[in-house]
């Protein structure tokens, strides 16, 4: 089935999700050229109302909200993608390694993952960031480390269903090594599961980064971030201004859009027609 045929079979919800994701990517990549003002430029008084010069008003320091929203897309989404990619790269490799090697390798990795998963993610992140300090590199490393655990468990479970099959045993009898088996035999057979999980896990990481930024230990000022923008402008809600809800709505919209795409992918992978 070609890509064109696959896209034609997509339901309206999946098309909506792809449109939102595509728009977010365009805005994120073109932020320096699309935004009317610089990311940290103070262009007016605090909390100015919406106007022609500032379509979404200004924030608590007098920075243009529209520009901050545009740059926030690049920062929040970009860091979430990087973090999810790191977690999946490590978690998938370790999960497949545990399934292929078994024995003590599987036991040691699985027990270490159990220890990580025994602590609630937010509490673990707060504890680790309190130790290493709140910065973007540290935040990315901590969140990626935390999300290696669920990715590992999924990759291991999916790989365990593959390593028992005859073609894996045949490859082993040919003398193929573990890395070759992971790359050529196991990964192609669990790729669809990992891709679907990547979309769901991206949503979790995206919301996690926004939550940490809202708490003040995620993306640090003056870098634009949708989570911290909600916190910085929360005072306006008291006066009936919906401006703080705009970054919150952007977070919700992108999360729903990605879930629409993932639902469609899982529906296709299941083979169901209705």
pLDDT in tens, 244-263: 889 989 988 988 998 888 88
232 within some domain:
yes
CB atoms within 10 A of CB 9: 11
Q: What is the pLDDT of residue 148?
A: 94
Q: Which residues are CB-neighbours of 119 under 8 A, at least 6 positions away? A: 127
Strand pairing partners for 64?
58
Give the CATH number for residue 247: 1.10.3720.10
In-domain check, residue 244: yes
Say if residue 270's pLDDT is above 70.
Answer: no
Q: Is 52 inside any structural domain?
A: no
Assess whether pLDDT exceeds 70 at residue 1. no
- Torsions phi, psi of 42, nearest 5? -90, 115
Q: Tens of pLDDT along 177-232?
A: 888 888 888 888 888 888 888 888 888 898 898 888 888 888 888 888 888 888 88
Q: Is the dihedral of CA 191, 256, 218, 46 positive or negative?
A: positive
Say whether pLDDT at 86 is over 80: yes
Average pLDDT over residues 99-117: 90
- What pLDDT score was predicted for residue 75? 87
Structural domain including 123 reads 78-270
Joined together, the tokens standing for residue 16 give 């909506």
Does 4 score more than 70 pLDDT?
no
Whether 100 maps to a domain, the answer reads: yes
pLDDT of 274 strictly over 50: no
Would you say residue 151 has pLDDT above 90?
A: yes
Instruction: Say if 168 falls within a structural domain.
Output: yes
Residue 161 lies in a domain: yes
The confidence score (pLDDT) of residue 132 equals 87
pLDDT reported for residue 34: 92
Q: Does 193 fall in a domain? A: yes
Q: Which band of pLDDT confidence, cut at 50, 70 and 90, is reported for residue 16?
A: very high
Q: What is the model's pLDDT at position 207?
A: 85
Three-state SS annotation for the chain: CCHHHHHHCCCHHHHHHHHHHHHHHHHHHCHHHHCCCCCCCECCCCCCCCCCCCCCCECCCCEEHHHHHHHHHHHHHHHHHHHHHHHHHHHHHHHHHHHHHCHHHHHHHHHHHHHHHCCCHHHHHHHHHHHHCCCHHHHHHHHHHHHHHHHHHHHHHHHHHHHCCHHHHHHHHCCCCHHHHHHHHHHHHHHHHHHHHHHHHHHHHHHHHHHHHHHCCCCCCCCCCHHHHHHHCHHHHHHCCCCCHHHHHHHHHHHHHHHHHHHHHHHHHHCCCC
pTM of the model: 0.84
In a domain, 4, yes or no: no
Q: When comparing pLDDT for 55 and 3, which is higher?
A: 55
The total domain count for the chain is: 1
Q: How many residues does the chain have?
A: 274
């Amino acid at each position: 089935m070609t890509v064109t045929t696959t896209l034609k079979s997509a339901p309206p919800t999946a098309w909506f999700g792809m449109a939102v994701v595509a728009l977010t990517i365009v805005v994120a990549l073109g932020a320096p050229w699309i935004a009317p003002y610089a990311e940290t430029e103070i262009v007016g008084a605090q909390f100015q109302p919406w106007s022609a010069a500032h379509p979404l008003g200004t924030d608590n320091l007098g920075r243009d909200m529209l520009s901050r929203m545009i740059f926030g897309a690049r920062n929040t989404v970009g860091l979430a993608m990087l973090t999810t990619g790191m977690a999946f790269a490590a978690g998938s490799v370790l999960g497949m390694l545990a399934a292929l090697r078994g024995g003590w390798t599987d036991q040691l990795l699985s027990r270490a993952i159990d220890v990580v998963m025994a602590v609630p993610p937010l509490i673990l992140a707060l504890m680790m960031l309190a130790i290493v300090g709140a910065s973007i590199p540290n935040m990315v490393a901590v969140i990626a480390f935390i999300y290696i655990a669920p990715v590992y468990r999924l990759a291991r479970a999916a790989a365990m269903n593959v390593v028992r099959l005859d073609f894996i045993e045949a490859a082993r009898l040919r003398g193929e090594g573990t890395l070759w088996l992971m790359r050529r035999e196991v990964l192609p057979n669990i790729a669809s599961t990992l891709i679907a999980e990547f979309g769901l896990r991206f949503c979790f990481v995206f919301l996690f980064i926004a939550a940490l930024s809202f708490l003040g230990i995620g993306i640090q000022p003056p870098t634009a971030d949708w989570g911290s923008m909600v916190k910085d402008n929360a005072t306006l809600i008291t006066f009936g201004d919906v401006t703080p809800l705009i970054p919150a709505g952007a977070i919700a919209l992108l999360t729903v859009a990605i879930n629409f795409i993932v639902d469609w992918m899982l529906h296709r992978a299941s083979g169901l027609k209705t």
